[in-house]
Amino acid sequence: MKHLWGVMKKDLDKVFKNPRMIFSTIILPGLLLFLIYSFMGTSFANFIDSTEENLQTRTSTIIIHNAPTSFNEFASNEVLNELNIKFIIKDDFDLEKYKDEVLHEEIDGIIVFENDFDNKLGKTEPEINMIYNPTSSFSSNSFSKLQYLLNLYKDHTLNELLADQGLSANLFKPTPTEVFSEKKSGGMILASLLPMLIITFIFSGCLASGTDAIAGEKERGTLQTLLMAPVKRNNIIGGKIISTTILAVSSAISSFIGIMASMPFAKELFLPGDVTLSYEALDYIGLFLIFLVVAFIASSTILIASTFGKNIKEATSYAMPLFIVAMLVSVISMFDSSLPQGIIPYLIPIYNATLGLKGILLFQLKIYQFLMIIGSSLVFISLITFLLVKLFKNEKVLFSK
């Protein structure tokens, strides 16, 4: 029993007599869970509130054609203002032109009434064609408004025609028509999942090799020998950054190839209907360059944690917050199906990379946005590498007790 207590006390003393171990072993896990779920909950709630507010306050712009007198009398300004709908009447009605505008989200929808609509009410079921873009949240919301408006119109019209005999049970037949880009539709699921997965793969690929690169050398007692060799420290740390980056990029590319190769076998999971994806060589080059800058950022930041850690376990505990933050930042992009229009989001490290991955997968990323992502990431890599070199040259940091 005495020996059992001695062994137990020895192992517990390693933690409780070392403030760094107390923080990394006991405090950090609870703190990380608190931050993760608080951040995700707040971000998701803010996104939902912001989306709902935008949908409620934004006026739906609808092209209307061949509207009958009964509908014009019913759809007064008061009714339309209440639903936040703006109808635009076009004399030179070109259906294909306006469908293209719905596709590119320049307008929210089109509503077309069958000819001689009022005279056919109660006798046949005249059609009302509602054209919208299901991949646009604004267009989908406008479609819901139109459905509600037509239900009100049906009740209003039915009350006026109750005295007539032989009324059609449905009065009229609303026919929805979807207009959307198959490429964008096919990429939406990939764009919502892959950025987070790729960032996770890259950082997890760096975690083991990065923490071992310096902290592992300390733990094995080989770092001092390496530093005594006739090699400049800049070359040592540079070699470790490049080797860690290569491993991270390899992991990410392997994961990406695995996902893309699984498409024919998991089509129902990723791609709706008969939609197919056709990315070009430039798309894959863009993805690779983003993989590369993210891997450099991941390797540099994790090597900083490895520089502070006395052993692999301690370095891993320091690196985990970086890993969690990267995951959280990548999760934000899952909540929105469109890219931000401002400049600032494309300058924020890691977050800009998730936007780049998402934009390429959605066929939406513009060349200037891509250049901002790569350029700002290279600036950040330079700064973080400079800091890493300074820390690696500092004996007090490198061999802190």
Digit-coded pLDDT (tens) for 48-73: 555 555 656 778 888 888 888 888 88
160 and 221 in a single domain? The answer is no
Query: What average pLDDT score do residues 333-344 get?
Result: 75
Q: Do 204 and 148 lie in a common domain?
A: no
**Same domain? 120 vs 190:** no
Among residues 118, 147, 180, the one where a domain terminates is 180
Domain CATH for 128: 3.40.1710.10
In a domain, 305, yes or no: yes
Domain that residue 82 falls in = 58-180
Question: Does residue 144 sit in the same domain as residue 191?
Answer: no
The residue among 160, 180, 200 that closes a domain is 180
Residues 271 and 211 in one domain: yes
Same structural domain, 327 and 287: yes
**Do both 164 and 300 map to the same domain?**
no
Residues 303 and 322 in one domain: yes
196 falls within a domain: yes
- Residue 322 forms part of a structural domain: yes
Range from 4-18, 253-267, 385-399 that averages highest in pLDDT: 385-399
Domains in the chain: how many in total?
2
User: Residue 230: inside a domain, yes or no?
Assistant: yes
Q: Quick one: pLDDT at residue 371?
A: 94
User: What are the pLDDT digits (tens) for 143-188?
Assistant: 888 888 888 888 777 666 655 555 555 677 888 888 766 666 656 7
Beta bridge partners of 177: 131
